[in-house]
Amino acid sequence: MNDRLSTLRGKREAALSGGGQKRIDAQHAKGKLTARERLAILLDEASFQELGALATHQTTDFGMASQRFPGDGVITGFGKIQGRRVAVYAQDFTVLGGSFSEVQSNKISRILDLAIEAGIPMIGLNDSGGARVQEGVRSLAAYGEVFVRNVKASGVIPQISLILGPCAGGAVYSPALTDVTIMVDGTSNMFLTGPDIIKTVTGEDVSAEELGGAAVHNSLSGVAQVTATSDQHALSIAKELLSYLPQNNAEDPPALEPYDPADRMEEALNTIVPDDDGLAYDMRDVLALVLDHDSVFELHKDYAGNALVGFGRLDGQSVGFIANQPLVMSGCLDINASDKIARHITLCDQFNIPLITFVDCPGYLPGVEQEYNGVIRHGAKIIYAYCQATVPKISLVTRKAYGGSYVALSSRQMNNDVAFAWPSAQIAVMGAEGAARLLNRRAIMAADDPKAEEARFIADYKEKFFNPYQAADVGQIDEVIEPRETRARLVRSLEVLRTKVTHSIPKKHGLFPV
């Protein structure tokens, strides 16, 4: 028995040592932690239960018979984060470059299956050189096993992906199928085809960072939702993000003991919207004043800056927010903002997180490029997402709400539950200048002073339509409220809507306008 125990301890020791001290030192030299160091930071102390620690590949071709390591380059198991059960996997770059193999697939697939059955979040730490070439088509087929489970888990349990190193080829699709992707600036990459292949095929000379670094995917492609400055920062972000999400789709999001008065009045909100329509203000200031102090967790912060999305808390309860940002493109909707908003609505809805929409939008961005690239289809995603969402939905018009953007952004017709507006709200078919010219073109042209006549019509249009009271008269706005009381109104509304129940027509699924 002692010999057998000695053998077991030796194998465990080998698994704990990864690819050896030399490779561990190389990992540290790149500013990266090892897989086990990352798990130690992510999980509560002594909470990790590893599964598959002794699994190894069976490939003997291409010199692989002598390259067998316990665990085969990925660590999988269960643990706890702030007392909450989670499933995790962490690719180990010190072992065969973390290359994805049939054994890796089996281990990740198994832990995903168990996470779905247990109803607990799945967190993946990705750091891999790509598919293990020595295994040929088997490593490619292995990706499919993980993909099908990512899709099965989608909308059932939260899935969070951390990109902590290279992530290339088929490996990028698994994070893309999860709910939130966090990348580390300067050390993580995501791309389907690497710089060398691109140079060979297209002649373009590009570095890995320029092609698929954190800045690229957080600001240009929108593939990632959060940028971190280091491994430690990324792990801290993942913990914070999890605090807004439930264990699964059958549970409510975790609530904190209220620490910010529910009836807090914010006098600054009464003057935050400039009297001059042409002046912008920062919607982030509105969010910070309305939501619980220091509770705003923004996603896609550097992508489509004309829209803001993320999580926050109201009286300790987790909420999702959608907001136009007047500082960027006057808060117009465009293709990227539409995708960003629709995705976040769906994310919140699948995990029972109430939605609050702050509206200040002059409409969709006009232009040939937008039309050619399908702004109609992308804009329809917002409408589809709001109409499909069954969570409590509250809207607040702070200033502009023109035309189609008014309808799309959680209006009463989009199955919205409660619609508020500030006195500064302007709910109209279109802007005053355009409306005045459209309705009074002949009178303006015939006038002795066309500019003065146009100005008169603009002023008349603003007086009649640039206020929320007509919309309130016909029931499109439930109440016009004083800005300073916004927080208290939202808290009370959510308290009533917390037990909201809806019934849908049975169907397999609809056709989302992808």
Q: What are the C-alpha distances in Å from 281 to residues 185, 284, 290, 391, 467?
A: 29, 9, 15, 29, 19
Closest by Cα among 308, 375, 377 to 340? 308
Same domain, 160 and 31: yes
Domain membership of residue 255 (yes or no) is: no
Which string of DSSP letters, residue by residue, matches 89-100? EEE-TTTGGG-B
Q: Say whether both 317 and 191 belong to one domain.
A: no
List, for residues 387-429, the tens digit of each pLDDT value: 999 999 999 999 999 888 888 888 888 889 999 999 999 988 7
- The pLDDT value recorded for residue 248 is 98
Both 235 and 324 in a single domain? no
What is the average pLDDT value for the chain, to the nearest integer? Answer: 90
Model confidence, pTM: 0.92
Domain with 444, as residue range(s), is 431-466
Residues 47 and 176 in one domain: yes
Burial grade of 64 (CB within 10 A; 0-12, 13-18, 19 or more)? middle
Which uninterrupted H or E stretch holds 253? none
Q: Is the pLDDT of residue 179 over 70?
A: yes
pLDDT at 43: 98
List, for residues 180-235, the tens digit of each pLDDT value. 999 999 999 999 888 988 999 999 999 999 999 999 999 999 999 999 999 999 99
Task: Mean pLDDT check: name the lowest of 289-298, 349-358, 502-511.
Answer: 502-511
Main-chain dihedrals φ then ψ at residue 233, nearest 5 degrees? -65, -40
CATH number, domain containing residue 351: 3.90.226.10
**Structural domain includes residue 247:** no
At 267, give phi and psi (nearest 5°). Answer: -60, -30
d(CA 423, CA 468): 6
Q: Is 513 helix (H, G, I), strand (E, B) or coil?
A: coil
What is residue 134's predicted lDDT score, i.e. its pLDDT? 63
pLDDT for res 67? 63
Give the pLDDT band (50/70/90) at residue 137.
confident
350 shares its domain with 404: yes
Does residue 130 belong to any structural domain of this protein?
yes
Q: Indicate if 317 and 170 belong to the same structural domain.
A: no
Boundary (domain end) residue, out of 186, 208, 242 = 242
Residues 100, 237, single domain; the answer is yes
264 neighbors 487 (Cβ within 8 angstroms): yes
Residue range 131-140: mean pLDDT, rounded: 70
AA letter at 475: G
Element (H, E) at 38: helix 35-42
pLDDT one-digit tens code per residue, 461-501: 777 777 888 888 888 899 999 999 999 999 999 999 999 98
Indicate whether 449 and 403 sit together in one domain. Answer: no
Same domain, 374 and 439: no
Q: Residues 437, 390: one domain?
A: no
Q: Does the pLDDT at position 277 exceed 90? A: no
Let me know if residue 259 belongs to a domain. Answer: no
Measured distance CA(48)–CA(332) in Å, rounded: 47
Beta bridge partners of residue 333, listed in sequence order: 364
pLDDT one-digit tens code per residue, 431-450: 777 776 777 777 777 777 77
459 with 472, same domain: the answer is no
Question: Is 343 part of any domain?
Answer: yes
Asked, for residue 192, whether it belongs to a domain, the answer is yes
**pLDDT, position 432:** 72
On whether both 117 and 104 belong to a single domain, the answer is: yes
Look at residue 317 and tell me if it is in a domain: yes
Domains of the chain: total: 3
Helix locations, 133-213, DSSP H? 137-153, 173-176, 195-202, 208-212
Mean pLDDT (whole number) for 110-127: 97
Domain boundary at 208, 242, 276, which? 242
Cα gap 183→226, rounded to integer Å: 6
Q: Is 374 domain-assigned?
A: yes
Spell out the SS3 assignment of 309-375.
EEEEEECCEEEEEEEECCCCHHHCECHHHHHHHHHHHHHHHHCCCCEEEEEEECCECCCHHHHHCCH
Beta strands in 169-306 (DSSP E): 180-184, 189-191, 226-228, 297-299
By the 8 A CB rule, do 357 and 257 touch? Answer: no
- φ and ψ at residue 491, rounded to 5 degrees: -60, -45
